[in-house]
Amino acid sequence: MIRSCLAAALLAAAFGANAADAPALPKPQCDPKPQAPGSMMRNDDFAMKRFKSAVKRYQDCMKAFIDERQAIMKANQDAANAAADEYNSTMKEINEQLKQAD
């Protein structure tokens, strides 16, 4: 019983430490969000034109944010893959050197 409580406490502390180390990620700055016009305004061409314009502006902003975040994710993944390749290459060289030394 004591071991399971201790394990749970250590696990919670580990997750808390990881959450504290997580970088603050930006949120989209695409405000104001468009609001659907009321039923009376849906017959007003000018109101619908403004609404469609607001939707387009919001859509373009969100797409740009998503594209930017995806480019950053790809760059991070490429960097991680390059680091893994470098590590594997270095370890292979070290192992070959150790085999030759024997």
Task: Residue 32: name the closest of 61, 11, 12 by CA.
Answer: 61
Residue 23, helix vs strand vs coil? coil
The answer to whether the beta carbons of residues 53 and 32 sit under 8 Å apart is no
The helix (H) or strand (E) run that includes residue 38 is: none
Two structure tokens written together for 67: 């594209």
Choose between 5 and 36: higher pLDDT: 36
Instruction: Give me the residue spans of the domains in the chain.
Output: 26-101
**What's the pLDDT score for residue 8?**
64
The answer to whether the beta carbons of residues 32 and 52 sit under 8 Å apart is no
Backbone angles phi, psi at 57, to 5 degrees: -60, -45
pLDDT tens-digit profile of 21-74? 778 999 999 999 999 999 999 999 999 999 999 999 999 999 999 999 999 999
With 0.75 as the threshold, say if the pTM is over it: no
